[in-house]
Amino acid sequence: MTEQPQEPLLSVTGLAVDYGTGRRRARVVEGVDLAIPPGRTLGLVGESGSGKSTIGKAVLGLVPIAAGSVVFEGRDVARLSGRERRALGARRQVVFQDPYSSLDPTKTIGYTLAEPCVNRPAGERMTRQQIADRMGSLLGRVGLGPDAAHRYPAQFSGGQRQRIAIARSLMLSPRLVVCDEPVSALDLSVQAEVLNLLAEVQRDLGLSLLFISHDLTVVRHISHEIVVLRGGRVVERGPAERVYEYPEDPYTQSLLASAPVPDPDEQQLRRDARRALAEQEG
């Protein structure tokens, strides 16, 4: 993990996002810089409400940007025309946290997977056969049988739905996938499977991931670089190992000390460390 990063696939500079209008307008993200080189994973951590999902949405163009820029593949996303932006959908995809609301319950898995493909601009349109082939190979890739295409979301478990959501995000061969807490709602055993799947497709397809989570342990496992967020601002960034093993910012330290570890003795030490940190802060 020491090779020199190339030209970033995604670079975010001075990003600010506001919610609300008029007097209720509030800035929830301020001055955030991020860069993800091709084939790398950037982990975004922070407590609830720190603005992680908001940054993810800004990168996806789901919320308007108040200041700063999002440059994807060398082009400023905010300056694109509607059609260009829609074409961008092909190369920038998303996997959401909630496996229960991220698939339309009224549509078969086949419909959900094919939807991004049937709606392409003329040049990139795929034939029915191409779509079916791709669907079959991706369902296999995420560990489901081809018969899954004829079923409805209610027939799958949470972990299987996340696999389907991952398959959907890969249908158009994207370059970047934003994963907003993709494993937070899953059991430990299922979480491990989904994390492995993400790491595997990333390696095989050379994807870049923006991996959002509140769990530093999970982020450390999958990311090359970690950015720690607090109140909409970046408080610490660096290579995953460094941030996890030797956190510099007190907030990162307390975040780490708060995460319980599966070892009663080490957990005791962490508890003491956290108490010391709290006393230091007053």
Ligand X SMILES: Nc1ncnc2c1ncn2[C@@H]1O[C@H](COP(=O)(O)OP(=O)(O)OP(=O)(O)O)[C@@H](O)[C@H]1O
Q: How far is CA 133 from the centre of its chain?
A: 26
User: CA 76, CA 134: separation in Å to the nearest integer?
Assistant: 30
Which region, judged by CB under 5 A, interacts with Mg ion, from 8-16, 53-61, 237-245, 253-261?
53-61
Q: Which of Mg ion, other proteins, ligand X, none binds 28 (CB below 5-8 Å, type-dependent)? A: ligand X
Q: Give the residue carrying structure tokens 């709606």.
A: 119
Q: Which C-beta is closer to ligand X: that of 103 or that of 212?
A: 212
| Interface stretch with ligand X, choices 51-59, 80-88, 124-132, 198-206 (CB under 6 A) | 51-59
DSSP 170: H
* Radius of gyration of the chain, Cα coordinates, nearest whole angstrom: 20
Q: Which does 20 bind (CB under 5 to 8 A by kind): Mg ion, other proteins, ligand X, none?
A: ligand X
* Residue closer to Mg ion, measured from CB, 54 or 202: 54
Q: How far is the CB of 192 from other proteins (least distance, A)?
A: 4
Piece of 52-60, 74-82, 154-162, 195-203 that binds ligand X (CB under 6 A): 52-60
Min CB(209)–ligand X separation in Å: 16
Among residues 2, 4, 21, 48, the one that binds ligand X under rule CB under 6 A: 48
Neighbours of 149 (CB within 10 A): 19
Sequential DSSP letters for 102-145: SS-TTS-HHHHHHHHHHT--GGG---HHHHHHHHHHHHHHTT--
Sole binder of ligand X in the list 50, 93, 160, 223 (CB under 6 A): 50
- Comparing C-alpha atoms, which of 62, 57, 85 is closest to residue 72? 85
- Residue 53 contacts Mg ion per CB under 5 A: yes
- 229: Cα separation from own chain's centroid: 14
Which chain residues interact with ligand X by CB under 6 A? 19-20, 28, 46, 48-54, 214
